[in-house]
């Protein structure tokens, strides 16, 4: 049986005539690391706060470890939480911040001491133990917040954008620290972020939300390779997937600017049922310039003039107009093309995604 | 450090000189009072028309006579201690009651919250003198005249302080409260061990205002108290100066004694007082 269950969860804030979260269903296994991602305002925090108990659940049922939690007070749900703004107690030292919960829970003194020592140790806070939060950097504060969460031995960790106030470099190292902590503690974790890279690198499974509705749930690579709709396809991956309005008839794809490609028969067969006007999506790295691929898919070869380049070092992005849309291709650093160069390329056929124009759902 | 231009330095110097002169203007009655509080009446009259009216007498055996008389022959010391005691109680109760009310208005959602706030703010513009009769009638009716409780009860709730607390509490972060909840901290405990310590500055402001209020109040204690055991310093001062055996010097000594705490408070807590005045946009008392 799954450890946390969200069954048909709905949330409507009083005085708002629209759901913030609609029919949210999810089963989370013990020790799983789940990430909620989505654009701002999509209901990630609201869902997390319903799990924590800080927001009432308007409809549906929340189960943790087989017990209905809808009416249970936050402190009795067996959770700890890390907040975006750290939410440290400003008038207490690092040590007291971490110990505070245990003291209130009437844990014996020597045990508190041991636990606080342990947390301070693994989070590298030895030097700062007698400092107040205002004398710490953002990264140190967030580590104190983590310490406060882990000493309580709760089974569930909730984190709401814990790294969004940190600079890019620190974010990467804290990301690793949180992943490491999760592996060593084995607590079930729900992690809210609007940063798809964080979600991709840390989570076992990702929940993608939009306008309060879950779009897709799955392992990172599953979402990357098999997005269920155009929104997911566009949200996951950077640079964004390229989208084109196309017409498919038989095995021929016609783009808005008249360019044509030929599809392998298996793909054409899958599309035949709903042929006609579709959206074609392809990721930058699935646009190929090398002679081997050009040879393989030669009959669909296309041409374009590079309009812009982004040199990243390890790889480069090439921008050009094709099929009536600005297209970005991601190439290795050995692929040297400059602005103004004329290039030949192909789309790797089995990496193309087709979406219904109306519903934006994936086809095939 | 910033190097000021010559012109700015001169301007600064002039400004300081003007302020010094002005402050002397305000200080001179105080200086006169303190200087003469050490003199016997004969010398006060003799010095009246000379500059020595502003200088204390030579330090001799009788230097503190006026003070000794006031503190030993009258109950003035007792009155001052009474007042300190009332102030202490009212500071504690005032912080608890007004603080809780301010917290509710800032952070707890309940029906008509904004209306309540408005009513409390309206109370701020009603002068104390207009409701004091009602207080008096009430206290008399429940038989608490000449009783510390009768004196204290109507003084606890203070709309200014409620508003002051509310203004500060409203900016407290909600996630700290949520974190505290997960740390098994009860709401009451949260208020006393988190909210108040996090808002030390407003607690200090309210304490200072409460103290000054109690210390300087004349009307209310004069209505409630008749028994001389319970009198406050201000009432006591009135009684002592009205007594025809009290000399001018002794009167000045008593006034000096009653002024000193106020001066100390103002000089130590001017920051809090300014903060309080600025954040409520008004001065009470
Ligand atoms: N207390 C509230 N009262 C009314 N509406 C609210 C409240 N809190 C959030 N909302 C609304 O609910 C929706 C979801 O908000 P939520 O905070 O869950 O978004 P989010 O996904 O966490 O976004 P972000 O990435 O910006 O944090 C938003 O449209 C928001 O305006
Ligand atoms: Mg949020």
Closest CA to A280 of A307, A315, A254, A314: A254
Q: For an interface test with A, which of B114, B171, B183 has the most A Cβ atoms less than 10 Å from its Cβ?
A: B183
pLDDT of residue B283: 44
A47 Cβ neighbours under 8 A, 6+ residues apart: A6, A9, A11, A21, A24, A36, A209
The CATH class for the domain spanning A4-235 reads: alpha beta
For the stretch B25-73, pLDDT in tens is 888 888 899 999 999 988 888 888 888 888 888 888 888 999 999 999 9
Span B126-139, pLDDT tens digits: 888 888 999 999 99
Of 1.10.2020.10, 2.70.210.12, 2.60.40.10, 2.40.50.140, the CATH number of A242-356 is: 2.40.50.140
- What are the residue ranges of helices labelled H in chain B? 6-36, 41-47, 65-73, 76-107, 113-125, 128-141, 148-156, 159-169, 174-182, 187-190, 196-198, 200-216, 219-224, 233-242, 248-268, 270-280
Alpha-carbon distance values, A342 to A313, B44, B215 (Å)? 22, 107, 89
Q: How many residues does chain A have?
A: 364
Query: Which of B110, B113, B179 would best serve as a mutation to test chain A binding (most A beta carbons within 10 A)?
Result: B179
Count how many Cα atoms sit within 13 Å of the Cα of residue B122 in the half-sphere of its side chain. 6
Predicted pLDDT of residue A1: 64
Predicted local distance difference test score (pLDDT) of residue B2: 58
> Which residue among B182, B194, B198 sits closest to A81, beta carbon to beta carbon?
B182
Q: Tokens at residue B234, please?
A: 């201000």
Among the bound ligands, name the one nearest to the CA of residue A39: 1
Per-residue confidence (pLDDT) for residue B281, from 0 to 100? 52
Which are the contacts of A162, defined by CB distance < 8 A and separation ≥ 6? A82, A83, A84, A142, A145, A146, A174, A178, A191
Q: What is the ipTM of this complex?
A: 0.86
The pLDDT tens digits for A265-322 are 999 888 888 768 999 999 999 999 998 989 988 889 999 999 999 998 889 999 999 9
pLDDT number for residue A299? 86
DSSP state, residue A298: G
Protein residues with C-beta less than 5 angstroms from the ion ligand 2: A 45
Across chain B, mean pLDDT equals 90
Q: How large is the average pLDDT for residues A66-89?
A: 95
- Residue ranges of chain A that CATH labels 2.40.50.140: 242-356
- Average pLDDT over chain A reads 93
State which residue of chain B sits closest to A49, comparing Cα positions.
B178
| Cβ contact B184–A101 (<8 Å) | yes
> Which tens digits make up the pLDDT trace of B182-223?
999 999 999 999 999 999 889 999 999 999 999 999 999 999
* Phi, psi at A157, each rounded to 5°: -110, 130
Model confidence pLDDT, tens digit, residues B101-128? 999 999 999 999 999 999 999 988 888 8
B182, B197, B198: residue with CB nearest A75 = B182
Domain boundaries, chain B: 2-68, 74-281
Q: What is the dihedral of CA A33, A39, A43, A47, to 10 degrees?
A: 10
A206 CB neighbour count, 10 Å cutoff: 28
pTM for this predicted structure: 0.84
Output the CA B121–ligand 1 centroid distance in Å: 32
**Quick check: A75 and B179 CB within 8 A?**
no
Question: Around Cβ A240, how many Cβ atoms within 10 Å?
Answer: 14
Please check whether residue A276 is in contact with residue A247, taking contact to mean a CB–CB distance below 8 angstroms: yes
Residues B237-263 pLDDT 10s: 998 888 888 899 999 999 999 999 998
Ligand 1 site, CB within 6 A = A 13, 16, 20, 38, 40-46, 194
Averaged pLDDT, B71-93: 95
Residue A64 binned pLDDT confidence (cut-offs 50, 70, 90): very high
Cβ B237 vs Cβ B254: under 8 Å: yes
Q: Are B191 and B225 in contact (CB under 8 A)?
A: no
Q: What percent of chain A has pLDDT over 90?
A: 84
Q: What is the CATH topology of the domain spanning B74-281?
A: MetI-like fold (1.10.3720)
């Amino acid at each position: 049986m799954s450890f946390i269950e969200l069954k048909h969860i709905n949330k409507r804030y009083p005085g708002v005539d629209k759901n913030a979260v609609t029919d949210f269903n999810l089963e989370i296994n013990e020790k799983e690391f789940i990430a909620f991602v989505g654009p701002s305002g999509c209901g990630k925090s609201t869902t997390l706060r319903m799990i924590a108990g800080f927001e009432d659940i308007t409809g549906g049922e929340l189960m943790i470890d087989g017990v209905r939690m809808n009416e249970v007070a936050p402190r009795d749900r067996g959770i700890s939480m890390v907040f975006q703004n750290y939410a440290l107690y400003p008038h207490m030292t690092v040590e007291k911040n971490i110990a505070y919960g245990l003291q209130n829970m009437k844990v014996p003194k020597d045990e508190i001491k041991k636990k606080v020592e342990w947390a301070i140790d693994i989070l590298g806070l030895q030097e700062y133990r007698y400092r107040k939060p205002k004398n710490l950097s953002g990264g140190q504060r967030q580590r104190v917040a983590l310490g406060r969460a882990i000493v309580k031995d709760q089974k569930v960790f909730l984190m709401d954008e814990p790294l969004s106030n940190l600079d890019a470099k620190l974010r990467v190292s804290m990301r690793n620290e949180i992943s490491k902590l999760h592996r060593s503690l084995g607590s079930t974790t729900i992690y809210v972020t609007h940063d798809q890279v964080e979600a991709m690198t840390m989570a076992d499974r990702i929940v993608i939300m939009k306008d309060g509705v879950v779009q897709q749930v799955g392992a990172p690579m599953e979402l990357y390779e098999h997005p269920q709709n155009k929104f997911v396809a566009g949200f996951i991956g950077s640079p964004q997937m390229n989208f084109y309005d196309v017409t498919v008839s038989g095995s021929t794809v016609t783009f808005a600017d008249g360019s044509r490609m030929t599809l392998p028969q298996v793909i054409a067969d899958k599309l035949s049922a709903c042929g006609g006007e579709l959206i074609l999506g392809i990721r930058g790295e699935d646009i190929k310039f090398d002679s081997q691929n050009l040879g393989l898919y030669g009959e669909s070869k296309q041409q374009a003039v590079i309009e812009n380049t982004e040199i990243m070092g390890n790889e480069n992005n090439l921008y050009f107009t094709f099929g009536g849309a600005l297209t970005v291709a991601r190439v290795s650093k050995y692929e040297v093309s400059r602005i103004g160069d004329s290039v030949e390329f192909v789309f790797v056929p089995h990496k193309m995604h087709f979406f219904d124009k109306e519903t934006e759902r994936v086809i095939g | 450090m910033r190097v000021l231009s010559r012109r700015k330095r001169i301007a600064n110097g002039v400004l300081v000189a003007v302020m010094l002169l002005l402050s002397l203007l305000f200080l001179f009655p105080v200086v006169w009072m303190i200087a003469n509080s050490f003199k016997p009446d004969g010398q006060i009259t003799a010095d009246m028309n000379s500059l020595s009216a502003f200088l204390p007498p030579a330090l001799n055996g009788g230097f503190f006579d006026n003070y000794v008389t006031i503190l030993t022959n009258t109950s003035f010391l007792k009155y001052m201690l009474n007042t300190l005691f009332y102030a202490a109680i009212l500071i504690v109760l005032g912080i608890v009651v007004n603080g809780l009310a301010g917290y509710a208005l800032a952070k707890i959602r309940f029906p008509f919250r904004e209306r309540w706030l408005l009513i409390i703010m309206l109370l701020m513009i009603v002068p104390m003198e207009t409701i004091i009769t009602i207080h008096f009638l009430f206290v008399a009716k429940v038989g608490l005249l000449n009783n510390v409780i009768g004196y204290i009860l109507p003084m606890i709730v203070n709309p200014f302080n409620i508003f002051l607390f509310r203004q500060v509490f409203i900016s407290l972060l909600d996630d700290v409260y949520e974190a505290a909840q997960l740390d098994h901290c009860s709401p009451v405990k949260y208020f006393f061990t988190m909210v108040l310590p996090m808002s030390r500055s407003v607690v200090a402001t309210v304490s200072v205002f409460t103290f000054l209020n109690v210390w300087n109040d004349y009307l209310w204690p004069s209505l409630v108290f008749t028994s001389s055991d319970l009198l406050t310093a201000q009432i006591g001062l009135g009684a002592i100066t009205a007594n025809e055996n009290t000399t001018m010097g002794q009167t000045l000594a008593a006034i000096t004694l009653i002024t000193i705490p106020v001066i100390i408070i103002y000089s130590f807590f001017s920051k809090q007082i300014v903060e309080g005045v600025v954040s409520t946009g008004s001065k009470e008392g």
